[in-house]
Chains A and B, each alone.
Chain A
Amino acid sequence: MTSKHDKWIVVLLILFIVVGLTAVYSSTSVISPDVVEKYKKKGVEISQFFYLKRQLFTLFLGMFTLLAAYKLPTHMLKKLSIPLLIFSMVCLLLVFSPLGVSAGGARRWLRLWPSVFQPSELVKLCMVIFLAWYLSLSSYNKEKFSSFIIPIGVMGVFQIVFLKQPDFGAVMSLGMLTLFMLFLSGTRLRYVFSLGIVAVPVIIKLIMEPYRWKRVVTFLDPWKDAQGSGFQLVQSFIALGSGGATGVGLGESRQKLAFLPEVHTDFIFSLIGEELGFAGASLVVFLFLLLFLRGMRVANRAADNFSYYLAFGISIMIAVQAIINFSVVTGMVPTKGLPLPFVSYGGSSLIINMTAIGLLLSVSRGQKRQTPVAALSPVNEDMDSGSIVSRSDIAKNKVMQMTMSDVKSKKMSSKQRHSWQYGQPASRPRIIWKAGLVQLPKRNSPGDKR
């Protein structure tokens, strides 16, 4: 039995959105009179629904990008991987142009009417798409150092820009994301270790910068300067700690009353902990764990290597961001400007993560429900990564429609270009194509795979 897409992921997404909207409303509905006054001077009438309305609008946009990503054919996405990467780089660099907006000593945002956009969120997703594409190339050789150093180099370029902004949180999540994906691709461990050895002096140098060093010291003992640099972390502890087992009650948070800075964005998990206690907060953690596990399942059932890496990368991206956010809020990692996916107030993160979910759902589309993982394992070395039509597509009879209309013109030329670019014989796809066309009923049965 097949299904359209993974319903569990949809359910989880809806749950996240419900939790997120509730938390955003709770954290932004009580506004201090002097803040209202401040906004009034800027000509903005701020109400208890001000942030909620904006978040709902973002959510609306996110629905579109989710659907677009869901509908986008895989081959299109593959083709877009390099342009998207370049686009994200341009966006990232634009931060330093007059379009850039700086806040709190960091240039991380682009002015984008009516709000601001954080390119680092886009970069992460584009990096995932790029890596999925790159790692699924037939020319990718996990044994070769050159195959390792190219993605690392791409990452390095982004990292330099991130450090310039500076956005240490993005550095951390992008680094972890890239390494996880390379590790997964089977790259030699000694490459990773040698990279680590090279990175040590760089990291030490970065940390020795006064403001960062101060941040590390603060992180080690926030109580030492509870009114100054340790303030935010201390307030986060107080929020979580006062929540206890069952919390102070929904909407009853006291820490949101200007005690905890960034309570609606990076520290929204503290608010959830305070209002709903350990019970509610751990539930949110479990939701992220569930999403990750579900994403892994989708990855493992992916039709091809690209989809496999894409699904895996997206799952890792969301999970890593969530874990870093949790760690920041609970004082296990020095404070970073990293939102909690789906939950934190903020347009860029929500739109990007919803787009990512769209891609994940796209991968999950047509996967069989009870297929043994091993039987369908797409991580088959000799599997044709250039295939445009996945097995699931074939299984869903979609191939028929596609062949009739598109294949002759579009798909064929794509294949030709593919073989021209990477020098891979285009015979296999063609065979599959034919097989798909001719032997459709046969290939529909499980175990039919090579």
Chain B
Amino acid sequence: MKKRAVIISTVVIFGFFIVLLRMVDIMLVNHDRFMAKAQFQQVRKKAVPVKRGIIYDRKGRELAINLDTESIFCDPSEIVSPERAAAVLSRTMNAEPRAYLAKLAGEGRFNWLERKQSPDLGSRINNLKLRGIGTITEPKRSYPKGRLASQILGFVDIDNNGIEGIERQYNKYLEAQPEHVKVHRDARGNMLSDGMMKELKGSNIILTIDEGLQYILEKNLHEAMQHWKAASATAIIMSPATGEILAMSSMPDYDPNDPSGSKPEHRRSRSLTDIYEPGSTFKIIAGVAALEEKVFSPSAKFDCSSGSIELGDKKIKDAHKHGVLSFKEVIQKSSNVGTIKIALKLGKDKMYDYIKMFGFGEKTGIDMAGEVSGILRPLSRWSGLSIGSISIGQEVGVTPLQVLRAYAAIANGGYLITPHVISEIRTPEGGLLHKTVPQAERIISESTAETFKNILKTVTEEGGTALEAAVDGNSVAGKTGTAQIIDPRTKRYSREKYVSSFVGFVPADKPRLAMIVVIHEPKGKIYGGAVAGPVFRKTSNEALSYLSVPRDDMQEKGLLLISTTDKR
């Protein structure tokens, strides 16, 4: 080989050698550095769409679901002309270009433009094929039944965080831990893998609420609100045996699909967050205590003919003069004088014990947030007047739920139950995470409860205070309550503002439903029997037929019960 051929060969071989050296530098020495740069541009972290758990009623009907919506975002670093993009976008979305300009021209790599828009709009935006603008599918919380049970369910914010109600209280179950998947993309921003197909689901919650009963209750409550031009109205239906809340609502309510603008007091479950003076419905405490402690027999007589009783320097009157009343009639006719006489005989220690025993002055332990314990002054701070006032339901602050629970104890034979709205919490796959076990604690004997139930049955009968609460074909055990509201300005009982309530259970002998109806500031009539009684009656009528509860008078009226139960 000639010298020059050798030189050229050497040069060329050297050239290949240099290339190899350079490759070692890039591919081996600087591998990590370039790998990081590759990852930076090729891989995008994508949040996996998190679907909140579904909230069902006790029969599996959906109360809170998720809808797929499209959220529109932009990557300002990829947008060449923000002005043009803003103009095109605003035309598509019927908005001012100015609204988007700042976001399109901003710093960083991610800005939301619009969130949770319809899939239709999302596809129209995608069809524009604007560089740097894209859509992400985001689940949006939706409440298909609208306002139904809105205070129990609560609502969520734009990022699906629970703000009120069950949504807030059980947020950690309903939401799923957000995850990110690494998605490979090409230089044009197209995603390659189907990482987005994955979705995370939160756990489902099954409530004790019955959608049908909730509807019946809300409908009647709403009607009553309008009829009595009331300031507000609250009602609960509970299963007296188990403490399951079957329906619960307060009026006015709000739309959880659009909670903005609604007042905070309309959003909360006022049945457990707001207190009132129970008035006459509280008289059962003194009555039950007297029977249980055998202070009086049901046939004991009380002279109430004066129509008033003096306690210290204050005189407490009856609404009507009654004359001599039996123990039973004191409750039936809701005599203040008679009740105070019972309480005085019982003594304030026993009175206080029974009030505590029935769960007043402390939380019921319902599995919802925001419950208050009410106001029950400790015995040391009772004045001479207190035993009289408290026995007829003044000087105490209670929640409707506490009152209902006390009546449920009479309905279920003497057990204080713990109310609850959560039946089960299940994983998306169906695994049981939580099941509420009904809790009950005996507070009075069965015979006392039975005796007192019979007394309460007379309330809706001839001579009682709540004939309007009588239910067709089924006996009702209940009690009316009419309490004056303390005017915040004068600190005295108002003459115009009352709280009218009725609490009871049907059918009285085999109680299926315990219900309380509290109407604040009704106009026209004030007495609980007249104002709240009809709501109780109508709701019970509809609820009992909804539940196909047999009528007590079925046999005497010759009605035939047709069983619709499947024979499986």
Contacts and interface: CB of A to CB of B under 8 A. Distances in A.
A296 B23 contact: no
B8 A242 contact: no
Q: Dominant SS at the A interface?
A: helix
B1 A254 contact: no
A251 interface: no
Contacts of B23: 240, 273, 278, 281-282, 285, 326, 330
B19 interface: yes
Interface in A280-308: 281-282, 285, 288-289, 292-293, 296, 299-300
Nearest to B12: A319
Contacts of A320: 12
Interface in A26-40: 32-34
Given A238-B38, A330-B26, A245 B187 contact: no
B311 interface: no
B280 to A, nearest CB: 75
B59 interface: no
A237 B34 CA distance: 7
Interface in A310-340: 312, 316, 319-320, 323, 326-327, 330-332
Given A258-B187, A326-B19, A240 B26 contact: yes
A238 B37 contact: yes
Interface in A221-278: 237-245, 254-255, 257-259, 273, 277-278
Contacts of A74: none
A244 B22 contact: no
Contacts of A241: 26-27, 30-31, 33-35, 37-38
Contacts of B548: none
Nearest to A281: B23
Contacts of B188: 32, 34, 258
A180 interface: yes
Contacts of B1: 296, 300, 373-374, 377
A244 B38 CA distance: 12
A316 B8 contact: yes
Interface in B17-48: 18-20, 22-24, 26-28, 30-31, 33-35, 37-38, 41-42
A323 B16 contact: yes
A377 B2 CA distance: 9
B34 A184 contact: no
A316 B24 CA distance: 24
Nearest to B43: A254
A255 B7 CA distance: 39
B184 interface: yes
Given A373-B1, A377-B1, A289 B31 contact: no
Contacts of B190: 32-34
B13 interface: yes
B15 interface: yes
Contacts of A184: 2, 4-5, 8
Determine the interface band of chain A, counting residues with CB < 8 A from chain B. Answer: 35 or more
Contacts of A327: 18-19, 22
A238 B185 CA distance: 15
Contact of A237 (B12, B26, B42, B184): B26
Contact of B16 (A238, A257, A289): A289
A191 interface: no
Contacts, number: 131
B2 A277 contact: no
Most A C-beta atoms less than 10 A away, residue of B18, B23, B27, B28: B27
Given A242-B34, A258-B188, A259-B41, A180 B27 contact: no
Contacts of B12: 292, 316, 319-320, 323
Contacts of B34: 237-238, 240-242
A186 B4 contact: yes
Nearest to B33: A241
A242 B4 contact: no
Determine the interface band of chain B, counting residues with CB < 8 A from chain A. Answer: 35 or more
A245 B187 CA distance: 24
A183 interface: yes
A323 B185 CA distance: 32
Contacts of A239: 38
Nearest to B7: A183
A278 B24 CA distance: 7
Given A32-B190, A34-B188, A184-B4, A240 B16 contact: no
Contacts of A332: 18-19, 22
B350 to A, nearest CB: 81
A59 B487 CA distance: 99
Given A32-B188, A316-B8, A278 B16 contact: no
B92 interface: no
B38 A242 contact: yes
Interface in A11-57: 32-34
A258 B190 CA distance: 10
B186 interface: yes
B192 interface: yes
A379 interface: yes
B5 A296 contact: yes
B202 to A, nearest CB: 34
A184 B9 CA distance: 10
Interface in B156-188: 184-188
Contacts of B35: 241-242, 244
A263 to B, nearest CB: 11
A330 B188 CA distance: 24
Contacts of B42: 254-255, 257, 259
Contacts of A331: 22, 26
Interface in A326-381: 326-327, 330-332, 373-374, 377, 379
Interface string B443-475: 000000000000000000000000000000000
Contact of B8 (A180, A245, A374): A180
Nearest to B190: A32
30 contacts: A32-B186, A32-B190, A184-B2, A184-B5, A184-B8, A237-B26, A238-B41, A240-B26, A241-B33, A241-B34, A241-B35, A242-B37, A242-B38, A244-B35, A245-B28, A257-B184, A259-B41, A277-B27, A278-B23, A285-B23, A288-B16, A292-B9, A292-B16, A300-B1, A300-B5, A320-B12, A323-B16, A326-B22, A327-B18, A327-B19
Interface of A: 32-34, 180, 183-184, 186, 237-245, 254-255, 257-259, 273, 277-278, 281-282, 285, 288-289, 292-293, 296, 299-300, 312, 316, 319-320, 323, 326-327, 330-332, 373-374, 377, 379
Given A244-B35, A257-B42, 5 more contacts: A33-B190, A238-B37, A241-B31, A257-B184, A258-B188
- 8 closest cross-chain pairs (CB), A and B: A241-B34, A257-B186, A258-B187, A242-B38, A326-B19, A244-B31, A323-B15, A254-B42
